[in-house]
């Protein structure tokens, strides 16, 4: 375990005591939230940071689970002395509802039937995910978060938090994200979902006691990985190089490195992720649209009080810079304090998860400022 | 901090809301924030500059100033600062119109092209002047506009904005030091600095 790591951590579970009414009109009677916290909450509760994870992420942001070889998914950013410094900040991350990493989702057991929910689990939106997270933050007795930080679908949650609970969010850092999914984003998600649903093992979502739709899920993940990379990053990473061979095989084996990479990513994914959760979360991302006016007719950001740091990456073609710029434009219109930086990076959408000195120093500087400007609930 | 920025900073009262266009690494903004408790935002085209600003704890946006200013509501800043940037703007009249819309007052500073150094180079060397303030050759210069103090005053009348305050300065030592020029500014000043506002008829 490297010394700069937070060290051994464990996932905790919180049972939401009340039923949650969902945007679809449905209700979730029994909701469990898996979460982790690092560092300690200070006496005036002014140092809490909520991290929101992306599609396939989980509550395990940093540190190591017992006997685990690999650390959490954002170990480079979260830990003692790191940009999200666990010596200074109380860091919380929870698994989103609809997922399969400990929080309630389609693979959870429905207490009413003692069977997995499968497709009887109600459709959840990004708003619903945030609503559930808010219950956790209330349970932890934190009246106002110093910052909410997240990339991709985590960025959508970050935006949602700042608009849905403006009094609870002092600052927000949406990374590599969008105010709403583009037709391109929806299209990729739909192809991925079709791949799962076309797998005969999917069986209308009822596969928990049988063979899983691994092939469909693997292809869905392969499609996802294409969107996380970029033309440039694929050219740099793979080019047309062949995988462990000097000539074409003249059959349908993986000849090219890029084929081999996608196959590996696909097959690795099925061991840790649930196909139904993939359907639910991608649908939630597709539904997400912060440009819509709220129910009372006011535009989305009119009530937002957070100070924002928006970051995009040059080679991200899933949520390109113009998406972030549209977000910034709206915030400026509402006279919101917003900073924006487009980071030159060749790794596509994935760039926010990779080591990046620029992103580290931006976050460090921004959080430093937020910590000095923090004001509690008025 | 650059001498012209010191002059500009002295014009802005504590607590004001300021937008700095072409803010660079945020020297002026940092000074205003730490010394005068001023709420400020910077805009610059360069990722490295914006990153420096954010690292310093400033609010800053990466983008093209000509486009970025369009998003703001009318009169939402007390001051909009355009320091040493006007000479690089493609459509100065259109930009100034936007600035006077979003800011109650606008500060503009630019290198004075009628400085005797420029005049002598043109007169005796017959070449486009190259000075400490304008250190480029004609083919690689980002400074596409040639402006003099007199030009700007004339522009104010034609364009219809009022000059609230003006100062001419002579700078040296990489523009870090300087003095205010009262006598023959058109000839002796390296920079002109103007505080302008909308004309109220």
Check: pTM over 0.90? Answer yes or no: yes
pLDDT at residue number B27: 95
pLDDT digits (tens, 9 = 90+) for A326-338: 999 999 999 999 9
Q: Same structural domain for residues A229 and A81?
A: no
The answer to whether residue A301 sits within a structural domain is: yes
Rounded distance between C-alpha atoms, residue A72 and residue A91, angstroms: 13
pLDDT at residue number A296: 61
pLDDT digits (tens, 9 = 90+) for B75-89: 999 999 999 999 999
Q: Does the beta carbon of B59 lie under 8 angstroms from any beta carbon of chain A?
A: yes
Q: Residue A269 half-sphere exposure, CB side, CA atoms within 13 Å?
A: 26
- Domain CATH for B26: 3.40.50.150
Inter-residue contact A156 to A288 (CB < 8 Å): yes
The answer to whether residue A5 sits within a structural domain is: no
Q: Same structural domain for residues A26 and A146?
A: yes
- Classified as helix, coil or strand, B1 is coil
Q: Same structural domain for residues A25 and A139?
A: yes
Q: For helices A214-228 and A183-197, what crossing angle results, to 10°?
A: 160
Q: Same structural domain for residues A360 and A294?
A: yes
Rounded distance between C-alpha atoms, residue A334 and residue A25, angstroms: 31
Q: Which residues of B touch A328 (CB under 8 A)?
A: 61, 71
Choose the weakest-confidence range: A153-157, B98-102, B168-172, B194-198: B168-172
Q: Same structural domain for residues A42 and A144?
A: yes
Rounded distance between C-alpha atoms, residue A107 and residue A113, angstroms: 13
Q: Does the beta carbon of B64 lie under 8 angstroms from any beta carbon of chain A?
A: no
Q: Give me the number of domains chain B comprises.
A: 1
A365/B56 CB distance under 8 A: yes
Q: Does the beta carbon of A322 lie under 8 angstroms from any beta carbon of chain B?
A: no
The answer to whether residue A4 sits within a structural domain is: no
Catalytic site positions of A: 152, 316, 349
Q: Which residues of A touch B76 (CB under 8 A)?
A: 335
Query: Which residues form the domain of A206?
Result: 185-283
Q: Same structural domain for residues A250 and A157?
A: no
- Examine the predicted complex and report whether its ipTM is higher than 0.90: yes
Query: Which residue, of A250, A283, A316, is where some domain finishes?
Result: A283
Q: Same structural domain for residues A174 and A63?
A: yes
Q: Which residues of B touch A364 (CB under 8 A)?
A: 55
Q: Does the beta carbon of A340 lie under 8 angstroms from any beta carbon of chain B?
A: yes
Average pLDDT, chain A: 95
pLDDT at residue number A295: 60
pLDDT at residue number A230: 86
The answer to whether residue A378 sits within a structural domain is: no
pLDDT digits (tens, 9 = 90+) for A134-179: 999 999 999 999 999 999 999 999 999 999 999 999 999 999 999 9
Band of residue A298 on the pLDDT scale cut at 50, 70, 90:
low
Q: Are strands B161-172 and B191-198 parallel, antiparallel or unpaired?
A: antiparallel
Q: Same structural domain for residues A275 and A346?
A: no
Query: Which residues form the domain of B132?
Result: 3-198
Q: Where are the alpha helices (DSSP H) in chain A?
A: 126-139, 153-164, 183-197, 214-228, 231-237, 257-269, 275-287, 321-333, 357-373
How many CB atoms are closer than 10 A to CB A282? 24
Q: Give me the number of domains chain A comprises.
A: 2
Q: Same structural domain for residues A37 and A117?
A: yes
Checking if the pLDDT of A369 tops 90, the result is yes
Checking if the pLDDT of A377 tops 80, the result is no
- Domain CATH for A93: 3.40.50.1820
- Domain CATH for A191: 1.10.1740.110
Checking if the pLDDT of A292 tops 80, the result is no
Rounding to the nearest 10 degrees, give the CA dihedral for residues B30, B32, B34, B35. Answer: 140
Q: Same structural domain for residues A96 and A46?
A: yes
Q: Which residues of B touch A332 (CB under 8 A)?
A: 68, 71-72
Q: Same structural domain for residues A205 and A155?
A: no
B72/A332 CB distance under 8 A: yes
Q: Give the distance from CA A356 to its chain's centroid.
A: 18
The candidate with the shortest Cα–Cα distance to B169, out of B148, B194, B189, B149, is B189
Q: Does the beta carbon of A313 lie under 8 angstroms from any beta carbon of chain B?
A: no
The answer to whether residue A96 sits within a structural domain is: yes
Q: Where are the alpha helices (DSSP H) in B65-115?
A: 65-68, 92-102
Q: Same structural domain for residues A209 and A88?
A: no
């Amino acid at each position: 375990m490297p010394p700069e790591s937070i060290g051994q951590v464990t996932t905790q579970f919180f049972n939401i005591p009340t039923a949650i009414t969902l945007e679809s009109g449905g209700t979730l009677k029994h909701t469990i939230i898996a979460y982790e916290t690092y560092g300690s909450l200070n006496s005036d509760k002014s140092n809490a940071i909520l991290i929101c994870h992306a599609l396939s992420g989980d509550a395990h942001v940093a540190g190591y689970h017992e006997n685990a070889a690999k650390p959490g998914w954002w170990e480079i950013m979260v830990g003692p002395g790191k940009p999200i410094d666990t010596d200074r900040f109380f860091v919380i991350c929870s698994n989103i509802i609809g997922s399969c990493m400990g929080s309630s989702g389609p693979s959870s057991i429905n207490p009413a039937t003692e069977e997995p929910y499968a497709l009887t689990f109600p459709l959840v939106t990004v708003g619903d995910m945030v609503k559930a997270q808010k219950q956790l933050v209330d349970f932890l007795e934190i009246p106002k978060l110093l910052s909410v930080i997240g990339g991709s679908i985590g960025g959508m949650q970050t935006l949602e938090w700042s608009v849905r609970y403006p009094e609870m969010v002092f600052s927000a850092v949406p990374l590599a994200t969008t105010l709403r999914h583009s037709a391109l984003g929806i299209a990729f998600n739909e192809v991925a979902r079709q791949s799962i649903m076309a797998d005969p093992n999917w069986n209308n979502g009822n596969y928990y006691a049988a063979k899983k739709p691994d092939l469909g899920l693997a292809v869905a993940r392969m499609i996802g990985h294409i969107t996380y990379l970029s033309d440039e990053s694929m050219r740099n990473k793979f080019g047309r190089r062949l995988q462990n061979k000097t000539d074409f095989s003249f059959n349908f084996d993986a000849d090219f490195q890029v084929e081999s990479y996608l196959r590996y990513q696909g097959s690795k994914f099925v061991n840790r992720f649930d196909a139904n959760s993939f359907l639910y979360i991608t649908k939630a991302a597709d539904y997400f649209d912060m440009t819509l006016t709220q129910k009372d007719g006011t535009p989305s950001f009119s009530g937002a009080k957070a100070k924002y740091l928006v970051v995009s990456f040059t080679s991200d073609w899933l949520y390109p810079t113009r998406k972030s710029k549209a977000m910034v434009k709206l915030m400026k219109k509402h006279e919101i304090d917003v900073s924006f930086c487009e980071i030159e990076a060749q790794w596509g959408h994935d760039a926010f998860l990779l080591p990046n000195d620029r992103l580290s120093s931006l976050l460090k500087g921004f959080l430093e400022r937020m910590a000095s400007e923090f004001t509690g609930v008025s | 901090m650059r001498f012209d920025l010191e002059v500009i900073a002295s014009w802005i009262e504590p607590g004001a809301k300021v937008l700095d266009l072409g803010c660079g690494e945020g020297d002026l903004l940092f000074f205003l924030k730490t010394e005068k408790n001023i709420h400020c935002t910077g805009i610059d085209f360069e990722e490295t500059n914006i990153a420096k600003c954010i690292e310093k704890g400033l609010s800053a946006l990466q983008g093209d100033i000509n486009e970025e200013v369009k998003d703001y509501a009318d009169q939402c800043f007390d001051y909009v600062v355009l320091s040493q940037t006007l000479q690089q703007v493609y459509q100065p009249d259109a930009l100034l119109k936007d600035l006077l819309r979003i800011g109650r007052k606008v500060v503009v500073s630019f290198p004075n092209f009628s400085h005797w150094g420029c005049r002598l180079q043109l007169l005796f060397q017959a070449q486009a002047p190259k000075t400490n303030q304008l250190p480029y050759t004609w083919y690689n210069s980002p400074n596409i506009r040639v402006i003099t103090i007199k030009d700007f005053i004339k522009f104010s009348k034609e364009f219809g904005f009022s000059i609230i305050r003006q100062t001419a300065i002579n700078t040296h030592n990489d523009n870090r030091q300087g003095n205010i020029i009262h006598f023959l500014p058109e000839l002796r000043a390296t920079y002109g600095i103007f505080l302008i506002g909308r004309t109220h008829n």
